[in-house]
Amino acid sequence: MTLIVESTENENLIEVNHLRINFNTYAGKVKAIRDVSFHLKKGETLAIVGESGSGKSVTTRALMGLNADNAEIAGGEILFHGQDVLKKSEQEMQQIRGKDIAMIFQDPMTSLDPTMKIGRQIAEPLRVHNHVSREKAMEQALEMLKLVGITDAEHRINDYPHQFSGGMRQRIVIAIALICYPEVLIADEPTTALDVTIQAQILKLMKELQEKIETSIIFITHDLGVVAGMADRIAVMYAGKIVEYGTVDEIFYNPQHPYTWGLLNSMPTLDTRSGDLSAIPGTPPDLLDPPKGDAFAARNPYALKIDAEQEPPFFKVSETHYAATWLLDPRSPQVVPPVAIAKRQDQWAKMHNADGELIRPEAPLPTPAAPSDDDRE
């Protein structure tokens, strides 16, 4: 069973349905994306989280037709305004890329042309897509440079990428992505190469720009902590599949999948001492030959016998929250999650009634208690 969230066509900018992508390699066919479905609404931020190799970037690059030459679309559809982009020609996709759907790539060091002044690089999408004059394009590039927070923009617009710091280069990459005011912005781990102080500034900037230009964001990351104040909804990916899906509060305070438990448990806190970091044991499965049942079973301390035999369907936790784990089956035995996760779930239960409705809408959820020594067992 694959997660399909019911919605009317005019509500969603993007709908991904039953997407499957393989990579043809010398060793065989890698089943990188295995039946993925999700949607993106106007003005919202969807975070896709998971370990390296889980399929986050492959999925979102398919939205822009940017997958590698050895990639094979094995099935599914990607609807943008109701039209399947997988059926569009390269020429048609070139009209969409940068104008309607733009991407911020992971490494600003390699995303910019070192031989071209940054003003020209920012203005280029405008000249290609909107066919404006060079003078007009440079005027708008200057305004965007100011908008992303580059000081002394009038002079720095004529500088080359090597004359900027890493954080400034990332701001320039964001300016290039936003210059045409795209409807959808894909941010592929845009803060990975930055220190935490600059990371926070970039995240704040993206949130402010999103409100100003009313764009929707797909935010890709392996770090749940990064999206805590950024996302509206979260999709957790593992081994080429979405395993849990819900609002940011549901994923942080009422997680249901053991893999999500592991991700949250591995987040360091201010009280985390040296040597006390938790980790998910083992390694992801080989997608040349995906496991028969639940792909996470071999690493799951809560795995049931059926996990090795049959892939779990999505179980409905609420109208917006789904998780693919046999632990949610009414017939499964009751398990006790890690102490830190149980505390989160207790806080969630105290704030909601039996129907899952927030008892005090005006009150934010409390900050999860810092784990004690016993929590890290």
3-state secondary structure at position 221: strand
Q: Mean pLDDT across the stretch 262-290?
A: 80
- Residue-level pLDDT at 9: 43
- Residue-level pLDDT at 355: 62
> For residue 246, what are the β-bridge partners?
234
Least trusted range by pLDDT, from 118-127, 275-284, 306-315: 275-284
- H-state helical runs in 112-156: 118-125, 134-147, 153-156
Residues 211 and 242: beta-carbon distance below 8 Å: no
* pLDDT tens sequence across 134-149: 999 999 999 999 989 8
Least trusted range by pLDDT, from 96-105, 174-183, 192-201, 265-274: 265-274
- Residue-level pLDDT at 357: 66
Instruction: Report which of residues 106 and 160 the model is more confident about.
Output: 160
Res 317 pLDDT > 60:
yes
Res 165 pLDDT > 80:
yes
pLDDT mean across residues, the chain: 87
Interatomic CA distance for residues 289 and 291, integer angstroms: 6
Least trusted range by pLDDT, from 3-17, 95-109, 214-228: 3-17
* pLDDT tens sequence across 188-239: 988 877 788 888 888 888 888 888 888 999 999 888 878 888 899 999 999 9
> For residue 31, what are the β-bridge partners?
22
- Residue-level pLDDT at 231: 93
Report DSSP state, residue 97: B
Res 8 pLDDT > 60:
no
- Residue-level pLDDT at 346: 84
- Residue-level pLDDT at 196: 81
Res 7 pLDDT > 60:
no
Q: What residue spans define the domains of the chain? A: 107-181
Instruction: Report which of residues 374 and 276 the model is more confident about.
Output: 276
3-state secondary structure at position 109: helix
Res 374 pLDDT > 80:
no
- Residue-level pLDDT at 75: 95
pTM above 0.85, yes or no: yes
Interatomic CA distance for residues 242 and 324, integer angstroms: 8
Res 5 pLDDT > 90:
no
Res 369 pLDDT > 70:
no
Interatomic CA distance for residues 298 and 373, integer angstroms: 26
Res 70 pLDDT > 80:
yes
Interatomic CA distance for residues 307 and 297, integer angstroms: 6
Instruction: Report which of residues 346 and 135 the model is more confident about.
Output: 135
Q: Mean pLDDT across the stretch 334-343?
A: 86
- Residue-level pLDDT at 288: 94
